[in-house]
Amino acid sequence: MSDSTSNKTASLAALASHASLARTWQLSTLFAQDKQRFQRFSLEAAGLFLDYSKNHIDASTVSLLTGFARSCGLEQRRDAMFKGEPVNTTEQRPALHTLLRAPAEQRFELDGEVLSSEVQQVLVRMDQLSQRVRSGEWLGFTGKVITDVVNIGIGGSDLGPAMACAALRPFIKPGLRAHFLSNVDGHAIDAVLANLSPETTLFIIASKSFTTQETLINAHVAREWFLSKGKASDLSKHFVAVSTNTKAVAEFGIDTANMLPFWDWVGGRYSVWSAIGLSIAIAVGMDNFRAFLAGAHDMDMHFRKSPLEQNMPVMLGLISWWYRQYFGSTSHLIAPYHEDLRLFPLHLQQVDMESNGKRVTTAGIPVTSPTAQVIWGSTGTNGQHAYFQMLHQGTDVVPVDFIATIHPSHDRINQHNALLANCFAQAEALMVGHQKDERPDHVGEALAEFRVLPGNRPSNTLLIDTLTPASLGALLALYEHKTFVQGVLWDINSFDQWGVERGKTLAARILPELEGRTSSHTHDGSTTGLITRTLQKKH
């Protein structure tokens, strides 16, 4: 047994023993015993403030968790990622999304290529294109300015830009509307196109390969819709692409001068920082997009330079791993108390579950512990009147991340105070609960048990001064790095997604059968039966 393996085994044994004690702790008691607990277990970085004091941890827990992280080689694997080593081991690629948000003067060379220069060149082209649209210089085929931008993509080519544009709503240029289309369901594109005009609409087709089935189906429907009013020669005024497939882009009718590239070292769920963010740049302006990148870079530097014990992504990752490993927590709730962050939990679902929903280690050996939690959530206070009942009185303990801003982007201060009061109250209620002997006088013994909230349920609270492009960038980078940390602890590759690819392969085989172009009997009985019944009902 190597020294590193021995250290890791010893760390896990110590953590397992410590966890058996920690599971007996009452959070309220921990606060009563330590009046400085809030100060001890809070961090500030890149404009974000994290309170993680409402967790089943103490100083010994933090020491054991960071010791385990070191035995897993977290610091070395973090450094390898930033250096451009092939941390995506199954595809032998680096994962250099952090390079996309590095400052222009930071030179980065890999295998003889100055990648930093390539990144900056794409940003300049994004700037030029977005300025043309925002200034009114870019005109449609009838000479009208663009009022609507439709991003057609799926997965990372949709979720990140859609989330960011929703979050940065106050920064969007007046009179310019951003729309996002991903679902291959025809109802989705009908809803988007219903209130648009071909004369004033610009489509961004976001597909690295320009072969993604869902994206190409929607792109061709959009093309047909446009051609009902315009000519094929007008397509270049209303369609641009983010892709690397020059031939396919040109065949579609897009001027390749309006095609922005990105690289195979950018995973889809990390691509919002690349040219995939073109829709964001058009909507909020390139200065704000660069601020978005700068906020993320600030978090990158904090993650890269800070000791593990004072490292915000590390602590979030360790605590989440702690609950998954030793407390049986199968899901994790993201509860943003900010309407403009309503899509943030959806984007994090892909960032986290597509990254860490894996069953084998980096060596291809089945993992011996549970991996990714289910990430879910929606905005507060809406969630309080939906699923918070389960959080307070259900049989499963679900860790929660509350996210709130101190200063709103509106001037309705009474409403914002009410929002913050609800956010802080829910975190407090999860921790302190409500005991049987606390019932009001008018509640009889028969109903007392129904009102009990056991409490002792963990949460983190993230406070942002104001939701800006920079703070949004820092927030998203925080969760990207948290995901990476957990992947290291489980020794899995957080950068591939073979499960996604399998579904695409099977769908490509079934589609021609549903269209009646081919027939096949190679499916299981259920799939064959469903295809057969669908074809029968169509005729």
The verdict on whether omega for the bond into residue 98 sits within 30 degrees of 0, i.e. cis, is: no
Asked if residue 418 is part of any domain, the answer here is: yes
- Domain assignment present for 277: yes
Q: Is 201 left (phi over 0), alpha (psi -120 to 50) or beta?
A: beta
Residue numbers annotated as active site: 354, 385, 504
Show which of 264, 289, 314 is a domain's final residue. Answer: 289
> Encoding tokens for residue 180?
């996002």
Are 110 and 161 found together in one domain?
A: yes
Q: Are residues 486 and 502 in the same domain?
A: no
Asked whether 373 and 329 are in contact (CB, 8 A), the reply is yes
pLDDT band for position 442 (50/70/90)? low
Of 472, 95, 483, 48, give the one whose Cα is nearest residue 290: 472
Average model confidence (pLDDT) for the chain? 95
* pLDDT for position 521: 64
Residue-number span of the structural domain to which 147 is assigned: 97-289
Q: Are residues 394 and 336 in the same domain?
A: yes
Task: Say which residues have a Cβ less than 8 Å from residue 78's Cβ, sequence separation at least 6.
Answer: 303, 304, 484, 488
Does residue 82 belong to any structural domain of this protein? no
- How far the first Cα of the chain sits from its last, in Å, is 65
3-class secondary-structure state, position 63: helix
> Rounded to an integer, what distance in angstroms lies between the CA atom of residue 521 and that of residue 528?
7
Query: Band of the pLDDT at 507, cuts 50, 70, 90?
Result: confident
Q: For residues 141 and 233, state if they share a domain.
A: yes
pTM of the model: 0.96
Nearest 5°: phi and psi at 333?
-95, 135
- Cα dist from 385 to 153, 377, 396, 460, 523, whole Å: 33, 13, 18, 20, 43
Digit-coded pLDDT (tens) for 228-260: 999 999 999 999 999 999 999 999 999 999 999
Domain boundary among 260, 289, 318: 289
Q: pLDDT above 90 covers what percent of the chain?
A: 89
User: Is the per-residue pLDDT at 10 higher than 90?
Assistant: yes
Do 403 and 318 share a structural domain? yes
Q: Which domain CATH number covers 117?
A: 3.40.50.10490
104/232 same-domain check: yes
Asked whether residue 402 falls in the same domain as residue 481, the answer is: yes
Number of CB atoms found within 10 A of residue 519's CB: 10
Mutual angle of helices 469-490 and 156-167, in 10-degree steps? 140
C-beta atoms surrounding 376 within 10 Å:
18
- Provide the number of structural domains found in the chain: 3
Amino acid at 346: L
User: Helix, strand or coil for residue 145?
Assistant: strand
The DSSP code for 57 is -
Question: From CA 67, how far away is CA 449, in angstroms rounded?
Answer: 42
Residues 464 and 527 in one domain: no
Under the banding of pLDDT at 50, 70 and 90, the label for residue 321 is very high
Whole-number pLDDT of residue 125: 98
Residue 418 has pLDDT above 60, yes or no: yes
Q: At what angle do helices 469-490 and 59-71 cross, to 10 degrees?
A: 70
Pairwise CA distance, residues 275 & 125, whole Å: 9
DSSP classification of residue 216: H
Q: What is the pLDDT of residue 502?
A: 83
Rg from Cα positions in the chain: 25
- Same structural domain, 349 and 460: yes
Residue ranges of the alpha helices (H) in 491-524?
498-514
Which pLDDT band, with edges at 50, 70 and 90, does 504 fall under? confident
Residue 296 lies in a domain: no
Is 333 inside a domain boundary? yes
CA nearest to 31, candidates 54, 52, 51: 54
Number of residues in the chain? 539
Q: Is residue 81 part of a domain?
A: no
135-162 per-position pLDDT tens digit: 999 999 999 999 999 999 999 999 999 9
HEC profile for 374-408? Answer: EEECCCCCHHHHCCHHHHHHCCCCCCEEEEEECCC
CA–CA distance, 191 with 188 (Å, rounded to integer): 5
CB atoms within 10 A of CB 460: 23
Residues 314 and 383 in one domain: yes
DSSP 284-345: H-HHHHHHHHHHHHHHHHHHHHS-GGG-HHHHHHHHHHHHHHHS---EEEEEEESGGGTTHH
Asked whether residue 129 falls in the same domain as residue 278, the answer is: yes
Tokens at 99, concatenated: 């390079």
Tell me which of 25-29, 119-123, 209-213, 309-313 is least confident.
209-213
Q: Are residues 442 and 505 in the same domain?
A: no
pLDDT digits (tens, 9 = 90+) for 444-484: 677 878 889 999 999 999 999 999 999 999 999 999 999 99
Is 84 domain-assigned?
A: no
| Domain assignment of residue 416, yes or no | yes
The residues facing 533 across adjacent strands are: none
